[in-house]
Amino acid sequence: MQELYEKIERAESVEALEAVRVEIFGKKGILAAEFAKMKSVPPEEKKAFAQGLNELKTKLQHTFDEKMATLKRKALEEKMQSEALDVALYDTIAHKGALHPVMETMDRIIDYFVSLNFAIEEGPLVEDDFHNFEALNLPKYHPARDMQDTFYFGDGRLLRTHTSPVQIHTMLRQKPPIRMIAPGAVFRRDYDLTHTPMFHQVEALVVDEEGKVSFAHLKSVLTDFLHYMFGDVAVRFRPSFFPFTEPSAEVDISCIFCEGEGCRVCSHTGWLEVLGCGLVDPNVFHAVGYENVSGYAFGLGVERFAMLLHRIPDLRSLFEGDIRLLEQFA
């Protein structure tokens, strides 16, 4: 009966072993045939014969069970191997990404001024009082400092509240003429529907020999730029005040939501304020040692542009990192 054990051991798969089970233990199997021989065994030998067969059956069953367990374990391992998921493997389905609306808007603004030959300048996010305020004609205790809720480090350093200090860095570093924009993050202690502690601005500065840069230049560049950004809108310059420019203006476009009719977004004025600008104040040139020059400057908030262009009602949603916001721009 040794060959019965070998039959079991030789099976190489669960299926093959199942066939062996039928062959040995089945109703018409080898063991059944052996048991059938009982009939022809002499009575005095029947007991021993039955005992022998039952023992054999038990041992075979044991061998079979162990073999089956081994084969099943092997089959499971093979299945796991073949179905293994390599999580480090790149997905073959390409998911479409999207630029964040603020960066997309920033890129559009930058593209426009780069096409007009403006250089891109950068400055540090952590500033000192001189660059952020003093040199921009904002002396200590000047009430206009209250316009900007500043984060101070307590050691004289601060987080820049606007991109205007890049004007100062650039002018201290190079001689006129200057034709630059400075895109970047700025920080203020503010948090509501239209304010976040961090947001982005694009600053611009043009400086040339005295008399070569006028308010008319500023007006034409900004009017063209706003048409490029917002399409066929009316543009108006409203007298205003900034310490670093004189004269200064705030620039409005006709409301893109109601086309000037008056609605909630434009506070029923028909106009949307979009940027600040002016001719560079002589005190600013004085602070950087420039003489016999004139220039214009302007600064705008990128988030405000993005909100208007994409009709985003709550500024804070731009910074919550909710992927569902980005998916709308894919």
What contacts 62, CB < 8 A, 6 or more positions away? Answer: none
Closest approach, Cβ 151 to ligand DAH, in A, equals: 14
Q: Is 170 a binder of ligand DAH (CB under 6 A)?
A: no
Task: Using the CB atoms, write b or e for 7-24: b if 16+ within 10 Å.
Answer: bbeebeeeeebeebbeeb
Q: Which residue has the tokens 């939501």?
A: 257
Closest approach, Cβ 249 to ligand DAH, in A, equals: 8
Strand ranges (E), 107-188: 119-120, 126-128, 157-159, 178-187
Q: Which residue has the tokens 């998916």?
A: 327
Q: Is 304 a binder of ligand DAH (CB under 6 A)?
A: no
Q: For ligand DAH, which stretch binds (CB under 6 A), given 64-72, 112-120, 224-232, 276-284?
A: 276-284
Residue 183 CA to residue 178 CA, distance in Å, equals 16
Closest approach, Cβ 191 to ligand DAH, in A, equals: 17
Nearer to ligand DAH, 143 or 321 (CB): 143
Nearer to ligand DAH, 60 or 168 (CB): 168
Site for ligand DAH (CB under 6 A): how many residues?
11
Q: Are 180 and 121 in contact (CB under 8 A)?
A: yes
Nearer to ligand DAH, 58 or 174 (CB): 174
Q: For ligand DAH, which residue of 199, 242, 290, 305 counts as binding (CB under 6 A)?
A: 242
SS3 236: strand
Cα angle 235-240-244, degrees, rounded to a multiple of 5:
110
Nearer to ligand DAH, 71 or 243 (CB): 243
Q: Phi and psi for 155 in degrees, rounded to 5?
A: -120, 20
Q: Is 121 a binder of ligand DAH (CB under 6 A)?
A: no
Closest approach, Cβ 297 to ligand DAH, in A, equals: 3
Give the distance, in angstroms, between the CA of residue 178 and the centroid of all CA atoms in the same chain: 34
Q: Is 162 a binder of ligand DAH (CB under 6 A)?
A: yes
Q: Are 60 and 4 in contact (CB under 8 A)?
A: yes
Closest approach, Cβ 253 to ligand DAH, in A, equals: 16
Q: Which residue has the tokens 């005992």?
A: 51
Torsion of CA 71, 73, 76, 80, to 10 degrees: -130
Nearer to ligand DAH, 67 or 167 (CB): 167
Q: For ligand DAH, which residue of 109, 251, 287, 297 counts as binding (CB under 6 A)?
A: 297
Nearer to ligand DAH, 203 or 252 (CB): 203
Q: For ligand DAH, which residue of 245, 251, 271, 285 counts as binding (CB under 6 A)?
A: 245
Q: For ligand DAH, which residue of 299, 304, 306, 307 counts as binding (CB under 6 A)?
A: 299
Question: Residue 127 gets which letter from DSSP?
Answer: E
Q: For ligand DAH, which residue of 137, 164, 170, 254 counts as binding (CB under 6 A)?
A: 164
What contacts 201, CB < 8 A, 6 or more positions away? Answer: 162, 163, 183, 184, 186, 299, 300, 301, 302
Q: Give contact residues for ligand DAH (rule: CB under 6 A).
A: 162, 164, 203, 242, 245, 276-278, 297-299
